[in-house]
């Protein structure tokens, strides 16, 4: 049952990361990765994660997924902006 909630928590975090990444300011996409690093470091310091190799692997894997979501969100924002500009240019021509 714990894994069931874990999947939803991970999906929620990735959804929030994607949402923040689609904002106009590029810095919004940095909030979740910084919070993730702080949280994992706290877990390592308080011995919730006992292995340094496990800590590094979890950290790198999580950051990788967050960067992928950030990249997807930025790409969506660029495409959306381009479509809006094309629509405005088309409207101006008519």
Entry pTM: 0.85
Say which DSSP state 89 is in: H
pLDDT tens digits for 4-54?
898 999 999 999 999 999 999 989 999 999 999 999 999 999 999 989 999
What spatial distance separates the first Cα and last Cα of the chain, rounded to whole Å?
59
Give the pair of three-digit tokens for residue 28. Answer: 């919004």
Above 90 in pLDDT, residue 94? no
pLDDT tens digits for 57-80?
999 999 999 999 999 999 999 999
Residues in the chain: 94
Number of Cβ within a 10 Å radius of residue 37 = 14
Q: Sketch the domain layout of the chain as residue ranges.
A: 26-93
CA-CA-CA-CA torsion sign (47, 50, 51, 54): negative
What is the Cα–Cα distance from 93 to 25, expressed in whole angstroms? Answer: 30
């Amino acid at each position: 049952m714990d894994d069931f909630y874990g999947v939803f928590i991970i999906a929620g975090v990735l959804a929030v990361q994607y949402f923040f990444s689609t904002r106009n300011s590029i810095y919004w996409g940095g909030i979740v990765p910084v919070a993730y690093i702080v949280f994992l470091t706290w877990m390592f310091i308080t011995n919730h994660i006992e292995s340094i190799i496990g800590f590094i692997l979890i950290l790198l894997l999580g950051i990788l997924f967050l960067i992928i979501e950030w990249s997807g969100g930025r790409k969506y924002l660029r495409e959306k902006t381009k479509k809006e500009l094309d629509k405005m240019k088309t409207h101006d021509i008519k």
